[in-house]
Structure 1
Amino acid sequence: MSLTSFLRILLWLAIALALYLALTPGPIGQAIESGKIRHAIAFMVLPWITMMAYPSLRLRWIVVLYAIFGGVIELVQGAMQAGRHAEWADWFFDLLFIMAAIVIGLIVRPLFIHQSKAGRDR
């Protein structure tokens, strides 16, 4: 299995897990106590994996897609009647974490591309 295929599978599993945890009331959805840490993990890891898994996807689309993803999560949490509530400050932090992920991804992505090409040359 290629690194790209592995990262694509990992990405979709991570998105499913993030949705499950974001929309699950009770202790499972709050396995990590701090909401800001939960948002930081999700919105730094997901865009970063997306950059690695889909290297031809334009960065602006990654930002737009994850901004929408975070906004939709907040809207759904606001509509839930089971222990979840929307906090638009969380969405603002999501946007900051998305941008941080993009910056880190721009630094790290060339290393992955180089390693991937080196692995194929062997």
Structure 2
Amino acid sequence: MRQARGVIARFAFWSAMTFAVVMALLPKPPPFPYEPSDAILHILAFVVLTLLGAAAYPKARLLWLGTALSGVGAAIEFAQMIPTLNRDAQLSDWLADTGAVISMLIVIALIRHLRGRFQTEPSVEDRQRPHGSGYGLPPHETGFTDGVGRTT
């Protein structure tokens, strides 16, 4: 079940990434309902990409995820300099992208911190892991406990 969720999250992330890049590089993108400003569209796209990226790659360091997404925003702005696209690159668009990414990474880091802090029971992965330190010592010699009082 967990593996299927990961596949779905990665599919959603890469689908959203493809959609965002294509929309950013279309010479004349279709109009959006309520005609939001360009900055709002950039912020919305990168908030969604950050959330989906964190869900798709939960073990990735948030710093790397943020750097990669900010790099995608910069690459889009550079690509918009191509004259045949009839788009104009703006530093403010990249700053909006990066600001959205940083804001969401802070929220994600706080949520992960609070989830880990209030988790009282070992996760399914921890329960399936064989006991012991993994360094060749028998479980009773490690001195570590699994959070429930059992020595691992």
Q: Normalising to structure 2: TM-score of the pair?
A: 0.66
Give CA-to-partner distance per residue, 1:9-50, whole Å, 9 cap, x none: 10010011001100002142x535411111011111101111
Q: Normalising to structure 1: TM-score of the pair?
A: 0.80
- Normalized per residue, the structure richer in helix is 1
Partner of 1:3: 5
What secondary structure sits across from 1:14 in the alignment?
Answer: helix
How many residue pairs match? The answer is 113
> What is the alpha-carbon distance in structure 2 between the residues aligned to residue 76 and residue 27 of structure 1?
15
- Structure 1 residues 56 and 27, CA gap change in structure 2 (3 angstroms): closer
Partner of 1:45: 48
**Larger RCO (CA under 8 A, 6+ residues apart):** 1
> What is the alpha-carbon distance in structure 2 between the residues aligned to residue 59 and residue 81 of structure 1?
35
Which sections of structure 2, spanning at least 5 residues, go unmatched? 125-152
Which sections of structure 1, spanning at least 5 residues, go unmatched? none
Q: Is the 8 A contact 2:25 2:85 kept in 1?
A: no
Pair member with larger Rg: 2
Partner of 1:57: 60
Q: Any residues of structure 2 matched to 1:69-80 within 5 Å, and which?
A: 69-80=72-83
Partner of 2:18: 16
What secondary structure sits across from 2:27 in the alignment?
Answer: coil
Q: CA RMSD in A?
A: 2.2
Q: Is the 8 A contact 1:45 1:101 kept in 2?
A: no
Q: Is the 8 A contact 1:48 1:104 kept in 2?
A: no
Give CA-to-partner distance per residue, 1:72-92, whole Å, 9 cap, x none: 000000123332110011111
> What is the alpha-carbon distance in structure 1 between the residues aligned to residue 65 and residue 77 of structure 2?
18
- Structure 1 residues 103 and 25, CA gap change in structure 2 (3 angstroms): same
> What is the alpha-carbon distance in structure 1 between the residues aligned to residue 82 and residue 74 of structure 2?
13
